[in-house]
């Protein structure tokens, strides 16, 4: 397998044995890759989530108890992962909005990759232009850097005890990509699972899900917007529904 080009985008990786999605916040995985994860889980893939921050800034309510918000968002993320057919969620718990692509956090990401041994890793595209949220930039960098560190024994060698060995995934899928070169074709059932998982993040309805949806029933408008995103991506390759990615395989 070689990296596809934008001129000839590829589609549909073989269903991985294990997938790991690395995200900044609770709900990022569902927005960007939820239908793909649901499809793979439906076909027997073991899906793991790694959430780097605690989501403590995900509200417009200045009176909210942030400890309550952190715990509630953990519960919501676990419920969402389960609705996608996922196996488990690892939370690193870094402060929301303050994620650094530091060597210390890279070591944590590397350790999770070495322990879970994913066939495919999914993450934010750290090279997406004009991206505003600092955690999304940092999380993308940490995902890429964690993959590089996980594969070679002289990176974080202290982790290589008790049977832990270096690990090299087969493919990296960057979502919300600067340049799309790959699509995962998904079914209606996968879109349904994605919507259900997104709606499990009940604390995020006002600030994220319903943000700028326009006039009307916000839930219906939100669902229509998510469907439209998958329809738009699918239309590029002539299928009803797809999620877009930048696929990297050559450097792994």
Residue in the shown chain whose Cβ atom is closest to Zn ion = 25
Q: How near is the Cβ of 136 to Zn ion at its closest, in Å?
A: 6
User: According to the binding rule CB under 5 A, does residue 201 interact with Zn ion?
Assistant: no
Min dist CB 117 to Zn ion, Å, is 26
Identify which of residues 162 and 212 has a Cβ nearer to Zn ion in the complex: 212
Q: Is 25 in the site for Zn ion (CB under 5 A)?
A: yes
- In the complex, what is the shortest distance from the CB of residue 32 to Zn ion, in angstroms, rounded to a whole number? 9
Tell me whether residue 26 or residue 166 sits nearer to Zn ion (CB atom): 26
Answer for the pair 198, 30: CB distance below 8 angstroms, yes or no: yes
Please identify, using beta-carbon distances, which residue of 64 and 239 lies nearer to Zn ion: 64
How far is the C-alpha of 229 from the C-alpha of 227, rounded, in Å? 5
Rule CB under 5 A: say whether 76 interacts with Zn ion.
no
Residue in 24, 37, 149, 150 binding Zn ion, rule: CB under 5 A: 24
10 Å Cβ neighbour count for 61?
10
- Cβ closest to Zn ion, residue 25 vs residue 229: 25
CB 129 within 8 A of CB 178: yes
Stretch that binds Zn ion, among 16-24, 81-89, 113-121, 242-250 (CB under 5 A): 16-24
What is the closest distance, in whole angstroms, from the C-beta atom of residue 123 to Zn ion in the complex?
12
28 binds Zn ion (CB under 5 A): yes
Residues in binding contact with Zn ion, number by CB under 5 A? 3
What's the CA gap between 137 and 24, in Å, rounded?
9
> Interacting stretch for Zn ion, rule CB under 5 A, among 24-32, 58-66, 97-105, 187-195?
24-32
Rounded to an integer, what is the distance from CA 195 to the centroid of its chain? 15
Q: Which residues bind Zn ion (CB under 5 A)?
A: 24-25, 28
């Amino acid at each position: 397998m070689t990296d596809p080009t934008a001129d000839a985008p590829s589609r549909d990786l073989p269903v991985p044995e294990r997938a790991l999605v690395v995200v900044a916040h609770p709900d990022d995985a569902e927005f960007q890759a939820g239908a793909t994860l649901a499809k793979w889980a439906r076909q027997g893939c073991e899906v793991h989530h790694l959430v780097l921050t605690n989501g403590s800034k995900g509200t417009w309510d200045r009176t909210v108890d942030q400890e309550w918000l952190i715990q509630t968002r953990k519960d919501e993320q676990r419920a969402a992962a389960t609705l996608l057919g996922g196996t488990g969620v690892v939370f690193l718990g870094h402060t929301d909005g303050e994620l650094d692509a530091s060597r210390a956090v890279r070591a944590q990401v590397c350790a999770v990759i070495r322990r879970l041994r994913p066939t495919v890793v999914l993450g934010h595209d750290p090279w997406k232009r004009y991206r505003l949220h600092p955690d999304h930039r940092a999380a993308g960098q940490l995902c890429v850097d964690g993959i590089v560190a996980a594969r070679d024994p002289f990176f974080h060698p202290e982790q290589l005890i008790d049977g832990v060995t270096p690990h090299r995934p087969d493919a990296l899928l960057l979502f919300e990509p600067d340049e799309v070169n790959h699509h995962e074709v998904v079914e209606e059932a996968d879109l349904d699972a994605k919507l259900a998982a997104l709606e499990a993040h009940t604390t995020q309805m006002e600030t994220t899900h319903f943000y700028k949806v326009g006039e009307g029933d916000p839930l219906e408008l939100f669902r229509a917007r998510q469907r439209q995103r998958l329809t738009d991506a699918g239309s590029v390759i002539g299928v009803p529904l797809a999620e877009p990615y930048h696929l990297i395989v050559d450097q792994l």
